[in-house]
Every structure is written in structure tokens, then in C-alpha cells.
């Protein structure tokens, strides 16, 4: 159930923005921002709210209207200083999106034990990569058993059994 989904990241400049101790801020709408470096730059974006908003994956074009209509109004409402910003750059990238339950599929294939999965992270891959790398190593070396962290609820078997692993507040 893993497919590509395109996401946009916008680099904005806000001279009067939150200080160096600004954490990652995620609005209930899913709009997020975080400080990027020393020059009053911030990275921001948002996942589409519905399948109808999903961007075309046939190209790498950035949708600046999405920023103007969906991201910027929420930023300006969340922090008054973001009313006066300038986009400095932007990019698009693809997530390996698990359309079934938006969580990773980890472990061996149920019918071909020589095929290993570490996919479908829906944008969380970089955050979870160290633990997943260790887990896959343990599966391969330790008789297909998780040792350090039990990730058995994320195996492909859950798809076959119809057991979704749902998570709230995914950005």
C-alpha cells in the first residue's frame, strides 16, 4: 500500500520572527514551522487536508498558491510576526506514503523471507531511521527476532490481518 506523495517545504525570511530558542511548532491544522539557522529563516509547510488537495506527482514543481492559501494564513494567525514574510526558496520532495495506515512496514515479506521491508514511513523516515536500521539488522542476524525494540506491530503481517496501526497528529 506504499505510494509516492509530494510535499512542499517553504523557506521564509522573517526579520522579527521567534528567537533562536524557537521549537518546532505544529498548529492543529498540521501547518508547521521551525527556525532554520541564524539568519531569521524558517522552514514551514503543511500536508494536504484531503485526497483532493494531493499534488500531482508527475513533476517536482512547487505550488506557491498552496503556500498563499493554506500555509501563510495559518502562520500569520499563529504568530503575528509572520504577517510580514518573504519566501526565499522552496522545494518539493516525495514521501513513501503508506496509504493504508500511514505507518512504516518493517521486516521480512510473509511469503519471501529474503525480501526485507523498511518502507512507508509517510515522512517520518529520517526520524525513525536509526531505530529501524538496528531493528532490521537484528531481524537478519538474530533469527528474525526484534531484540532492542519490539516493532512487531509494524510488520507486513498486519496488512494481511487487517490490523491498522493508527496514529494521531501526523504532520
Scan for cell 512487531, then name that residue.
Answer: 152
User: In terms of C-beta density within 10 A (0-12 exposed, 13-18 middle, 19 or more buried), how is residue 121 classed?
Assistant: buried
**What pLDDT tens digit does each residue of the chain (171 aa) get?**
899 999 999 999 999 999 899 999 999 999 999 999 999 999 999 989 888 999 999 999 999 999 999 999 999 999 999 999 999 999 999 988 898 998 899 999 989 988 999 999 877 777 888 999 999 999 999 777 899 999 999 999 999 999 999 876 666
Short-list 19, 10, 16, CA closest to 46? 10
Amino acid at each position: 500500500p506504499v505510494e509516492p506523495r509530494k510535499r512542499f517545504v517553504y523557506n521564509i525570511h522573517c526579520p522579527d520572527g521567534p528567537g533562536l530558542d524557537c521549537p518546532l511548532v505544529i498548529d492543529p491544522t498540521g501547518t508547521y514551522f521551525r527556525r532554520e539557522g541564524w539568519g531569521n529563516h524558517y522552514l514551514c509547510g503543511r500536508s494536504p487536508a484531503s485526497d483532493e488537495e494531493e499534488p500531482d506527482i508527475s513533476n517536482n514543481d512547487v505550488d506557491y498558491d498552496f503556500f498563499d492559501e493554506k500555509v501563510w494564513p495559518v502562520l500569520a494567525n499563529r504568530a503575528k510576526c509572520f504577517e510580514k514574510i518573504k519566501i526565499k526558496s522552496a522545494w518539493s520532495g516525495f514521501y513513501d506514503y503508506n496509504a493504508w495506515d500511514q505507518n512504516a512496514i518493517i521486516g521480512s515479506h510473509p511469503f519471501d523471507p529474503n525480501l526485507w521491508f523498511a518502507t512507508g514511513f509517510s515522512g517520518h523516515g529520517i526520524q525513525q531511521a536509526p531505530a529501524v536500521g538496528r531493528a532490521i539488522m537484528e531481524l537478519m542476524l538474530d533469527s528474525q527476532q526484534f531484540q532492542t525494540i519490539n516493532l512487531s506491530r509494524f510488520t507486513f503481517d498486519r496488512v494481511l490481518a487487517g490490523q491498522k496501526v493508527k496514529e494521531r497528529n501526523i504532520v
